Amino acid sequence: MAQARYDREFKELVVQRILNGETTTAEMARELELHYTTVRDWVRQYKKDGQNAFPGKGHLKPDDEEIRRLRKELADLKEENAILKKAAAYFAKNQK
C-alpha cells in the first residue's frame, strides 16, 4: 500500500482552515480520510515553522540548508588544512 504524498499548498490550505476556525483537526482528518495525527502534525509544523514548513522531499528549511552548507565548508577547510600541514612538514624535512 503506497503512502499518499500531499504538496505544500494542500497542507497549508488544510492548516489555514483549521487555524481560521472553519473546522477542527478531527473534522478535517475525517473529511480527507486521513489519520488525526497526520493533520495534527501538519498544524504543529506550521505553527512552529510558518512559511518554512513543509519544504518537500529532498529540500531543507533555510536554517537547515545553512547548517548543511556550513558543515560542508568546515569539512573542506579541515581537509585543506591537513593537506597544508603535510606539505609544510614535507618541505621542512627536505630543506635540511
Burial (CB count within 10 angstroms: exposed 0-12, middle 13-18, buried 19+), residue 1: exposed
Q: How many Cα atoms are found within 13 Å in the side-chain-facing hemisphere of 91? A: 6
* Top-confidence residue, 8 or 4: 8
Name the domain count of the chain.
2
Does residue 84 share a domain with residue 48? no
Q: Are residues 48 and 64 in the same domain?
A: no
Determine the Cα–Cα distance for residues 38 and 28; give it in Å rounded to an integer. Answer: 11
Query: Same domain, yes or no, for 51 and 67?
Result: no
Same domain, yes or no, for 11 and 42?
yes
Are residues 48 and 65 both part of a single domain? Answer: no
pLDDT digits (tens, 9 = 90+) for 19-37: 999 999 999 999 999 999 9
Range of the domain at 16: 1-57
pTM here is 0.55
For the segment 39-91, what is each residue's pLDDT rounded down to a tens digit?
Answer: 998 899 888 887 777 766 656 677 777 888 899 999 999 999 999 999 998 88
Helix/strand/coil for 67: helix
C-alpha cell at 95: 630543506
Cβ atoms of residues 45 and 37 within 8 Å:
no
Mark whether 34 and 69 lie in a shared domain.
no
Whether residues 47 and 12 share a domain: the answer is yes
Q: Which three cell numbers stand for residue 76?
A: 573542506
pLDDT of residue 85: 93
